Amino acid sequence: MEEEILEEVLKKEKVLDWVKIGQFGVFLAILIALPFLKNQLITGSLVNALFFISASMLGFQSAFLLCFVPSLVSVYAGLLPILLAPVIPFIIAGNALLMFVFIKLKHRGFWQGAVFASLAKFAFIWLVGMILANSVLHGISKVVMQIISWPQLATAIAGSAIAFLFFKIIKKI
């Protein structure tokens, strides 16, 4: 009897592993495609929504791997100017910070976790961007710097709203 129960549990865990792999694959494919929309506000909002969703559904370790994709593809797609290439590792870290803070605080409520995560990402990327702009990236244009300023906060908040709607919809199905 105990062996049968253990066997059933192991079968369910294997199915869950395949489901998570499938979800990861879908998130990865979408994150690769989104930068080709070439609109920072739309792309950023959808990317951040996927970060909130993947962090919730996959956990931090799996979702963390997704942080690398949008920034790298954005340079290739032309959404992120090549001048900002030195900022990419910090954008990736900001995305990871968004997911980490959200996972740690979402037990207090979705919005509290999402807002603090969005503020943390924005503050981190903006601060690093300003430091780099005043040291390594001398003469970088204000238009280019604007990419790593308020749009980071706006797209993170918009992404949290999209993720919130997504979770409301799937709970009703």
Place of tokens 């390594």: 136
Distance CA 122, CA 131 (A): 14
Query: What is the distance of C-alpha 93 from the center of its chain?
Result: 10
pLDDT of residue 82: 81
Q: In terms of CATH architecture, what is 2-172? A: Orthogonal Bundle (1.10)
Q: Which amino acid is at 97?
A: L
pLDDT of residue 19: 85
pTM comes to: 0.85
Lowest mean pLDDT among 60-64, 85-89, 102-106: 85-89
Domain residue ranges in the chain: 2-172
**pLDDT > 90? residue 3:** no
Distance CA 63, CA 21 (A): 11
Distance CA 14, CA 168 (A): 27
pLDDT of residue 86: 79
Distance CA 95, CA 99 (A): 6
Distance CA 52, CA 7 (A): 33
Q: pLDDT digits over 90-149, tens only?
A: 999 999 999 999 999 999 999 999 999 999 999 999 888 778 777 766 666 565 667 678
With pLDDT > 70 as the criterion, what percentage of the chain qualifies?
83
Distance CA 85, CA 23 (A): 29
With pLDDT > 90 as the criterion, what percentage of the chain qualifies?
58
Could you tell me which residue, 109 or 4, shows the higher pLDDT? 109
